[in-house]
Amino acid sequence: MTRTAPEPPSSRPATAPGAPAPEAPASTAQTPAAQTSAAPEPAPGPASGTPAPGPASAAPAPDPAAATGAGPVCRRLEGRTAVVTGAGSGIGLATARRLAAEGAHVVCGDIDQSAGKAAADEVGGLFAHVDVTDPDQVEALFRAAYDTYGSVDVAFNNAGISPPDDDSILETGLEAWKRVQEVNLTSVYLCCKAAIPYMRRQGRGSIVNTASFVARMGAATSQISYTASKGGVLALSRELGVQFAREGIRVNALCPGPVNTPLLRELFAKDPERAARRLVHIPLGRFAEAEEIAAAVAFLASDDASFVNATDFLVDGGISGAYVTPL
């Protein structure tokens, strides 16, 4: 059964006896333009820190790997709590499905009420309506995860936008630049700031921040603010991974290549030439499917990646390693 987090109170989350109070918890956004929505608040959670009944008590989550060939599901996240921002579509939705199939309690954050709740319904998780650029709503998102399930084990900070008015530096206005930076980079800062105190208290956690292969490579088909924002995600993730490693917290930047998502389809529908110019550079000859990226997130979130930290984790079909691609 899906849980919907109610409106958050002004007070901060209760802490376990003798434990330091965590800093502001986090939220989520997945759409361009206006990202303003009231952050929901968690249902009363377990005072003891024992996870409350969640997805495990709902109908079994679908096995995304079975249909996509993205890799076997091994229940590597059994009983853990994962927060996914931008969970209503694309990579976020595929990842919510995969993490639930791996045994996690999934908290689906999205600014799109309908899509986000549908995702949570599907995976038997908790939905939180959230704007990831709003510190209070981000705080409420992570507080909801902790209060409902008793831990914050995985944070997949994935919400992002790629609007058409983000183009060449010669064409992109300051407002377009700022909007992309807020959603793609500032939101990652806010989500990490909110998640880390819970993870420090637990002595473990895995944070996966969505960057992009474009942060590693230049492109003549520029989206200047998007590229710069993803470069910021790389630097932020690297620094946090180093800073908190000895407290059991791993932080990695996920760098997908072009992915067959609504975001990319919308962008390329407006400019088919741009799509063709990118596709030719991928050695595998196709864009990734969201489920393939979700499989990488599941790996990074799990103990299978216990020695993977502060990295730029490329899942790009070989595009970053190619000079001349096959005919």
Distance CA 37, CA 27 (A): 11
Q: What is the CA radius of gyration of the chain?
A: 19
19 lies in some domain: no
Mean pLDDT, 10 residues at a time, the chain of 327 residues = 46 36 37 36 37 40 51 91 98 98 99 99 99 99 99 99 95 99 99 99 99 92 95 99 99 96 78 82 94 99 99 97 84
Q: How many distinct structural domains can be found in the chain? A: 1
**What's the pLDDT score for residue 153?**
99
Is residue 226 annotated as part of the catalytic site, yes or no? Answer: yes
Distance CA 280, CA 113 (A): 37
Q: Which domain holds residue 275?
A: 66-321
**What's the pLDDT score for residue 3?**
55
**What's the pLDDT score for residue 156?**
99
149 lies in some domain: yes
105 lies in some domain: yes
CA atoms within a 13 Å half-sphere pointing along the CA-CB vector of 202: 21
Q: What's the distance, CA 157 to chain centroid?
A: 3
Q: CB neighbours (10 Å) of residue 174?
A: 8
54 lies in some domain: no
Tokens of 310: 């502060």
Strands 105-110 and 81-85: parallel
259 lies in some domain: yes
109 lies in some domain: yes
**What's the pLDDT score for residue 242?**
99
36 lies in some domain: no
**What's the pLDDT score for residue 6?**
42
Distance CA 102, CA 105 (A): 9
**What's the pLDDT score for residue 261?**
83
30 lies in some domain: no
Q: How many residues does the chain have?
A: 327
Q: What is the CATH number of the domain that holds 272?
A: 3.40.50.720
Tokens of 131: 């704007």
Counting Cβ atoms within 10 Å, is residue 322 exposed (0-12), middle (13-18) or buried (19+)? middle
Query: 0.85 exceeded by the pTM?
Result: no
**What's the pLDDT score for residue 231?**
98
Q: Which of 146, 149, 198, 226 is catalytic?
A: 226
